[in-house]
Chains A and B, each alone.
Chain A
Amino acid sequence: MPEVLQAPLVVEFPFTRSLGPVQSAFLTGLRERVVLGVKTTDGRTLVPPVEYDPVTAEEIRDLVEVAPTGTVTAWAWNHEPRRGQPLGAPFAWVLVRLDGADTALLHALDAPGPDAVRTGMRVRVRWAGERTGAITDIACFEPYDGEPAQPGGHTGEFENPLTGIVAPARLDYTYSPGRAQSAYIHALGEQRTVGERCPSCRKVYVPPRGACPTCGVATAEQVEVGPRGTVTTYCIVNIKAKNLDIEVPYVYAHIALDGAGLALHARIGGIPYDQVRMGLRVEPVWTEGARYPDHYRPTGEPDADYDTYKELL
């Protein structure tokens, strides 16, 4: 069996999220060094605040300022900080109940070591130097043995309140396409196209994924298909994709390679876009060093009869 392929895969996206009135006030408050909670109808103060009471599901809007000092209610020592976490040096994860709040906020505590942390210890907010209206405007908590701070009685009304946040997310993977697709990609590297035949219905799948989706059984028998094939259907693309070095309009087509049980898709070149047609016979064009055909071009053969490819549409 040829080597199973692997490649790094990075999934990264800047999620843009809109804020409701309560989240907007809370995050705008952090920007202005004010911590806000929200009152439930039974008189508890939730920090961080939410728009609906977690017990009754009632909508709640009654904002109230709480102190930037508080008490640790749970902690865990993180001796190996990971990417994206609030501090680069070892720190404690903490749930902190701020003075005036009835619930706890999750954040990091900057402490010299686990022996310096305990449930019930007093802490205060350390503000970030540059604040944008995000939970990370609290840089972290730090130990504090002074008097509880007195909240300022802020109403939650701000100049220029935030209406949204951007929450970047990035995850790193090592992608492996598995046995069947690795074999397909290896063969492409030798300018060959291989599919796999279903032992039950005898259909040849290109590219193969190791299973026949019709019969639900494993496929293993490799079959070389093509290189020539027939255009079964196509479309004309008029929109130029970003970073794509292909002039529009161009034709994207489904191509049934000779011997294949279903069509794959590729770009058609070497012929004006308005002369591409169903039944056109095509062959792959490889560029130097490429791992897949750049496009398919007409072979010059007569068009295929509709009956020869109608099952592959």
Chain B
Amino acid sequence: MTREIAVVAFAQTDHRRSTEESSEVEMLMPVLHGVLAQSGLRTADIGFTCSGSSDYLAGRAFSFTLALDGVGAWPPISESHVEMDGAWALYEAWTKLLTGDADTALVYSYGKCSPGSVRDVLTRQLDPYYVAPLWPDSVALAALQAQALMDAGHTDEPALAAVGARSRADAEANPHAQLKGPVPHGDYVVRPLRTGDCPPVGDGAAAVILAAGERARRLCARPAWIRGIDHRIEAHGLGVRDLTDSPSTRLAAEKAGAFERPVDTAELHAPFTAQEVILRRALRLGDDVRVNPSGGALAANPVMAAGLIRIGEAAARIHRGESDRALAHATSGPCLQQNLVAVLEGDPR
């Protein structure tokens, strides 16, 4: 790798159950202006723009084109979109900067879960021949995974409750979080998962600015250098996979260099409590690593933005000097099917 690339700015909305008063672009614009203001860049200074979102959340084809109104696409800009979480848009932007074609990139993503039923919407990403016709919703599939984890002896209901409680307690310090403070473990949604094991359903957006080399140092007092980033995928057949493990996360982490030296912080995209247990094991995170100080996806889970927010939160801790080496993880698909790991570092102090 010849170019150093860093996250130099991060902004997110306050995540809420519903933002029906705003269109996607109205929800998005404050965070776009937020990262521009932090970095001191103007729209015309951005070399590459990449976004992540989903038509199925919006219920409209090509919905991302309307959100482009928020970035000022005139004169024409270099732009791309992924129908995935914004973490994958960040990956694309990172590769673009690596090629030398651009020195700065704006990455944003957004998700409004409020217009539809996100449990039903997510069934549409499943195998259309053998699985989707049964309409197994996202909580049901996560519950299968949680039960498999319990059967394997890796966790139990009190341990899962503790993951939820710690996440929501940490979220009290996060002004953007949707669900914070004491939350009862609650009734079963799909057993063994209770309401407290599941993420809140909500709307939100996030944006990040990447910059290369000296440009990053000029834009940010303490850039969060991306030392490595990788993403891996597993077989789509749930019955082919070992649901108690996440080999794709482990491989992505290895390729991103996560195991070369310890990290002090990990922002894990684990929408369900049991998934944090799986990810901690896959990533070999010890008890000395600060996991999800933001509260994680259990405190705010705007679908398509929650993974980018993990990278943004990890980077922001480096910007603030609260972390020197952080791991950020994003997931997509049922039962942690696809996983992205980034390793971020601040300059030595």
Report which A residues bind B (CB closer than 8 A).
4, 6, 9, 11, 15, 17, 19, 23, 27, 46-48, 50, 54-55, 73-79, 82-86, 93, 95, 97, 103-108, 114, 119, 134-136, 165, 167, 169, 171-181, 209-218
Contacts and interface: CB of A to CB of B under 8 A. Distances in A.
Interface string B313-329: 00000000000000000
B347 interface: no
Contact of A215 (B25, B72, B190): B72
Given A74-B147, A173-B59, A173-B116, A167 B132 contact: yes
Interface residues of B, number: 59
Contact of B20 (A48, A114, A176, A212): A176
B21 interface: yes
Given A213-B74, A214-B74, A135 B68 contact: no
A167 B144 contact: no
B70 A211 contact: yes
Given A169-B124, A178-B21, A86 B59 contact: no
Interface in B53-110: 56, 59, 66, 68-74
B243 interface: yes
Contacts of B191: 76-79, 114
B282 interface: no
A108 B25 contact: no
B219 interface: no
B237 A50 contact: yes
A286 to B, nearest CB: 26
Nearest to A120: B151
B192 A165 contact: no
Contact of B239 (A97, A108, A136): A97
11 contacts: A48-B239, A74-B145, A76-B192, A78-B190, A82-B137, A84-B135, A105-B130, A171-B117, A176-B20, A213-B73, A216-B29
Contacts of A11: 59
B128 A167 contact: yes
B72 A178 contact: no
A105 B32 CA distance: 44
Contacts of B129: 17, 19, 23, 27, 135, 165, 167
Interface in B116-159: 116-117, 119-121, 124, 128-137, 140-141, 143-148, 151
Given A11-B59, A106-B131, 7 more contacts: A47-B239, A119-B151, A171-B56, A172-B116, A174-B116, A176-B21, A179-B26
Contacts of B22: 178-179, 210
Contacts of A74: 144-145, 147-148, 151, 243
A244 B141 CA distance: 44
Contacts, number: 187
Nearest to A104: B239
B121 A171 contact: yes
B336 to A, nearest CB: 14
Given A76-B191, A104-B239, A48 B130 contact: yes
A175 B21 contact: no
Contacts of A50: 237
Interface in B230-252: 235, 237-240, 243
Contact of B115 (A55, A73, A173): A173
A105 B134 CA distance: 12
B174 interface: no
Top 9 closest A-B pairs, CB basis? Answer: A216-B72, A178-B23, A104-B239, A76-B143, A84-B135, A54-B235, A77-B191, A213-B69, A211-B69
Nearest to A48: B130
B237 A103 contact: yes
B43 interface: yes
A84 B137 CA distance: 10
A48 B191 CA distance: 25
A48 B145 CA distance: 19
A210 B56 CA distance: 22
Contacts of B70: 211, 216
A59 to B, nearest CB: 16
B259 interface: no
Nearest to B149: A74
A207 to B, nearest CB: 11
Contacts of A134: 133
A265 B25 CA distance: 22
B240 A46 contact: yes
A211 B240 contact: no
B61 to A, nearest CB: 9
B239 A82 contact: no
Interface string B1-30: 000000000000000000011111110010
Contacts of B131: 106, 135
